[in-house]
Structure 1
Amino acid sequence: MKHAVLIAIGDELLSGIRREGNCSWLAWRLTRAGWKVDCIEILPDGKDSLSKYLKNWVGTTDLLVLSGGLGPTHDDCTREALSSFLKVPLETADDAYDKVIARYPADMRILLEKCRDTQGTLPRGTRAVHNPQGAALGIAFEVSGTKVFAFPGVPSEYRAMAEQELAPEMATIRNGTASVLVAGWPESLLKDRLAPVISRLELHISILPSPGLVEIFMRGDPEDVVRAENEVRLLVPGDCLPPGARSLEEAVIQGAARRGLTSACAESCTGGLVGAALTAIPGSSAVFFGSAVCYSNSAKKSILSVSDDTLKRCGAVSSQCAAEMAEGALRVFGTDVSVSITGIAGPEGGSADKPVGTVWFGIAGKGSTKAVEKLFHGDRNDIRGRASMFALQCLWRKVSETEE
């Protein structure tokens, strides 16, 4: 098994001003490719701490990837740290930097020329890594059997350069790992249901909960992994996302496309989060027609035809309103299935009968409509996020009811 160490650099990460995501993203990609990520470190700005970690890991790991510290400001010290570690001076990589700034308009090139002696330099003998998204060059070299890459910390630049430079290393081993996403199960109950699989000592199994889903990640001998994945799908039939779907929104779009179904949403407290999730998936325009964000009662009446009697007698957060919203979305968009969301996200607006976190969902299509109530906990963002995930789950299950 190949080993990797990932290091992120920046005081803003240690202080919490920014969240580290680059190393986590690359760790996931490498793990699926059969690598063992031994360590993820977050270091402060400054060359001394990085030099120490370079000495610790170079020669003991196969791959070392650095994130950050390659910009033009005073606190960007990765180049200097690498130069000091390799005991070579910094040199300007003019050809490589010319290629980068050639993408920019003339007025921007004038500004980037002022950064040539920082963003365009690298330690002598190392290779310049082209940056397809930004202006700072990356750095690559190999010492004592360790491949070292330094990429800028801007997430779009980091990921683009990692895809460009590490594609072979990140290629997924198809049968050496498997991931099954299970909807509708709390982690505590799912682990008991899957105990026959989880107890197998020949497999490395991780249980990774997130709002709306629990991921079962398995790594080991290809035959053992295939057998375990099949068993997981048999133990929770109907709750596993289909192979190839990495999220509920992907499962909705892929399932609707396979079955020739169209879908729509009507959203109140989620304010368009469900529609945003669905439209982020490539190909969604073929099967998802739209989301009506109807936050006020007047919008629910005028756009979705929710009756005035329902709003006065039952309220906007009720089974009746959720059902009428879902049916209204079917009419407005002319789709086969729909889901609606109406609830109390807080922090105000709750009552003894309908506390903060009460959310009703309507699911309509195929000649039937039903409403489901859920009570979510957390702050306003938590409740809205969990409600969005549950709405996607409802839509996925409705789509799945139709035979292919």
Structure 2
Amino acid sequence: MKTKKAYLIAVGSELLNSKANRYAPILFSKLSKAGIRLQGEITAKDTIKDIKDAVDFCAKRGNIIIITGGLGPTFDDLTRQAASAFLKEPLTCSKKIINFLKRKYGKRISQENLYNQSLAFKKALLFENERGTAFAQMLNKENKTFIFLPGPMREWEPIWDKKIFPLLKKKGDKIFFSSVRLAGLTECELQEKILPDIKKFKDLDYTVLAGPYICELLFFGSNKNNFLSFKKSVKKTLKNNIYSLKSRNLAQVLKIIFTKKKLTLSLAESCTGGLISSMITSVPGSSVFYLGGVNSYSNLSKTKILSVKKSTLKKYGAVSLECAEEMALGVKKIFGSDFSVSVTGIAGPGGGTKKKPVGTVCFAFCSPNFKYSVSVFFDGDRDFVRMSAANFALFGLLKLIQFYRRRQ
């Protein structure tokens, strides 16, 4: 399959010394849906020379060059100037941008910043930024497409999805694309399970995006029959680990199920400290099913609020199946929910013992007529343990509600 090649240039000195850039996997997924392959990424300092060198490198290798950042009004925003020098395409003050900025900011923007922010390529398509000042731009030259995006993802993503993606889709090959989101498998375990199919369907493109206790398999190709055959086989092979075939996260999937079945949920969190609650409430409409949670980080809160017995803590400890069960029952009683989940563990870096090392996390799950508890070990740093525990809890809850529905 002949796929158009794209390169990403992330502009910003801060990306080399203080901030992490995570745009490559996000843009890989978005480009794949348009039949375009992201071939590589470069991070460039905020200098004319570095940006020009990056554009030169990518333009020699790709059909589509995407540049994020450096489009603001300040002295170190030099992306347009560098690209103008390389492409030999003049910049001009765009009346469209000036009028937009005046309407939006009035006298709050200085004349100097107004001038700098309004610079645009004369032949470029301009895309209004609903969440900031920097317009996105798309310029075609010598059978190559140059796309200039604002630095913050919250600004460029709506522009991409609504305006740029439909245009790129016309440039890409006719392809079939799918995303399979999974939990409970490492990247290596996933590869081992699907390797026979990958060897069988060599004309498809594949990639895996790994996360804490979750991962995502992306695949696409132009041969419809092979694409559908691989998808069917993957669904069968990975059926116990799949939670979404529609690019939804675990919280979004749970919201759909709980809302449809008119069921409710409550949470008791210790080592995750409200992380699971935050994931659930980030989904619009979650108040329909999520009644609330208790952040029971201390033993005092476990006994005073969740009614965990002091004797349980003394005999088994806070990180135990017995404590987790009492936490889940306690929070279920407080809120009167149909389902409840509790989490208690040792996220680290300290607090571990030989019997209960850092990474040990205990969970309890309650439904209207069934409950169970489980202890799991996550090997990683504090953030990894906490995120893994949160994803495990959500996936475990999904499995429980699926079991509950089958019993109805």
TM-score (norm 1): 0.90
Does the 8 Å contact 1:7/1:23 carry over to 2? no
RMSD: 2.5
Distance change (3 Å), C-alpha of 1:239 and 1:88: closer
Task: Tell me which residue corresponds to 1:2.
Answer: 4
Distance change (3 Å), C-alpha of 1:397 and 1:27: same
CA positional deviation for 1:87? 3.2
Deviates more, 1:239-248 or 1:293-302: 239-248
Distance change (3 Å), C-alpha of 1:53 and 1:238: closer
Does the 8 Å contact 2:268/2:341 carry over to 1? yes
Task: Tell me which residue corresponds to 2:337.
Answer: 335
- Cα distance in 1, alignment partners of residues 293 and 102 from structure 2: 41
Task: Tell me which residue corresponds to 2:65.
Answer: 64
**SS of residue matched to 2:74:** coil
Distance change (3 Å), C-alpha of 1:100 and 1:277: same
CA positional deviation for 1:326? 0.8
* 1:126-145 mapped onto 2 (5 Å cutoff): 126-145=124-143
Task: Tell me which residue corresponds to 1:92.
Answer: 93
Distance change (3 Å), C-alpha of 1:282 and 1:226: farther
Does the 8 Å contact 2:348/2:381 carry over to 1? yes
Distance change (3 Å), C-alpha of 1:189 and 1:112: same
CA positional deviation for 1:292? 1.2
- Cα distance in 1, alignment partners of residues 241 and 25 from structure 2: 27
Task: Tell me which residue corresponds to 2:178.
Answer: 178
Distance change (3 Å), C-alpha of 1:170 and 1:393: farther
**One-letter identity of the residue aligned with 1:187:** E
Deviates more, 1:197-206 or 1:290-299: 197-206
- Cα distance in 2, alignment partners of residues 344 and 285 from structure 1: 30
CA positional deviation for 1:4? 2.1
- Cα distance in 2, alignment partners of residues 346 and 289 from structure 1: 29
Task: Tell me which residue corresponds to 1:318.
Answer: 320
2:265 is matched with which residue: 256, 263, 266? 263
* 1:105-184 mapped onto 2 (5 Å cutoff): 106=106, 109-169=107-167, 176-184=176-184
Task: Tell me which residue corresponds to 1:231.
Answer: 233
Does the 8 Å contact 2:180/2:246 carry over to 1? no
Does the 8 Å contact 2:73/2:117 carry over to 1? yes
Amino-acid identity (%): 31
CA positional deviation for 1:127? 4.2
Does the 8 Å contact 2:29/2:218 carry over to 1? no
Does the 8 Å contact 2:25/2:209 carry over to 1? no
Deviates more, 1:294-303 or 1:139-148: 139-148
- Cα distance in 1, alignment partners of residues 32 and 377 from structure 2: 36
- Cα distance in 2, alignment partners of residues 150 and 290 from structure 1: 43
**One-letter identity of the residue aligned with 1:51:** K
Does the 8 Å contact 1:97/1:137 carry over to 2? no
2:299 is matched with which residue: 297, 303, 307? 297
- Cα distance in 2, alignment partners of residues 158 and 165 from structure 1: 10
**SS of residue matched to 1:341:** strand
Distance change (3 Å), C-alpha of 1:338 and 1:48: same
**One-letter identity of the residue aligned with 1:49:** D
Task: Tell me which residue corresponds to 1:73.
Answer: 74
CA positional deviation for 1:117? 2.0
CA positional deviation for 1:170? 6.2
- Cα distance in 1, alignment partners of residues 274 and 263 from structure 2: 21
- Cα distance in 2, alignment partners of residues 24 and 101 from structure 1: 36
Distance change (3 Å), C-alpha of 1:331 and 1:355: same
Deviates more, 1:380-389 or 1:349-358: 349-358
CA positional deviation for 1:59? 7.9
Does the 8 Å contact 2:94/2:118 carry over to 1? yes
How big is each residue's C-alpha offset from its partner over 1:137-175, in whole Å with a ceiling of 9 and x where there is no partner? 333322112222212212222223323431314669997
- Cα distance in 1, alignment partners of residues 236 and 264 from structure 2: 29
Structure 2 residue ranges without an equivalent (≥5) = none
CA positional deviation for 1:323? 0.3
**SS of residue matched to 1:115:** helix
**One-letter identity of the residue aligned with 2:40:** C
Deviates more, 1:33-42 or 1:184-193: 184-193
CA positional deviation for 1:132? 1.5
